[in-house]
């Protein structure tokens, strides 16, 4: 099964595509959609949506997974992140994909066995699980691959539509 994972961010949205049978995972592609901080927020959302559409068209995932919004002390940042997630969910639904949504702690638990793991620990496990010669340097892309791996491992329980 080909799975697209997305780690939403208003400046950098990471994506990762894997092929998986649920226990073995292979890297297909990864990257980031970078927005210009000087652009109006609506334009940044448009850039992110177009980028996700392009990834879906190029790599034809069968399912997708998006990380839930992390609620921090900065409500404004959380609200912007929620808008980005909305764009991602819209584009994925528009493409007819089944989408799983996972809280950050569940993604970390699925990969590292610790819901409070640091980004570098997740990055290391992504490298190990995908049998890569070196870690994915872009943390947003590494996190997106972690979301895809989490979905592959938990999809019978985590599907929403």
Report the catalytic residues.
7, 67, 140
**Nearest to 144, CA basis, from 152, 50, 37:** 152
Neighbours of 81 (CB within 10 A): 20
Beta-strand pair 25-34/12-20:
antiparallel
Q: Which two structure tokens, joined as six digits, stand for 99?
A: 């989408």
3-state secondary structure of 27: strand
Q: Which two structure tokens, joined as six digits, stand for 154?
A: 């938990």
Extended strands (E) in 1-158: 2-7, 12-20, 25-34, 63-67, 98-102
Can you tell me the distance from the alpha carbon of 54 to that of 121, in angstroms, rounded to the nearest whole number? Answer: 30
């Amino acid at each position: 099964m080909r799975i697209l994972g997305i780690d939403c961010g208003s400046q950098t949205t990471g994506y990762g595509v894997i092929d998986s049978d649920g226990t073995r995972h292979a890297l297909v592609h990864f990257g980031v959609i970078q927005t210009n901080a000087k652009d109006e927020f609506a334009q940044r959302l448009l850039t992110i949506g177009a980028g996700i559409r392009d990834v879906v068209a190029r790599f034809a995932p069968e399912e997708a997974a998006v990380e839930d919004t992390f609620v921090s002390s900065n409500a404004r940042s959380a609200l912007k992140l929620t808008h980005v997630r909305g764009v991602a969910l819209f584009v994925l639904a528009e493409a007819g994909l089944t989408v799983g949504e996972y809280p950050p702690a569940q993604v970390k638990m699925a990969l590292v066995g610790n819901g409070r793991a640091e980004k570098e620990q997740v990055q290391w496990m992504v490298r190990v699980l995908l049998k890569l010669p070196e870690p994915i340097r872009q943390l947003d892309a590494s996190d997106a691959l972690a979301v895809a791996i989490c979905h592959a491992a938990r999809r019978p329980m985590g599907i929403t539509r």
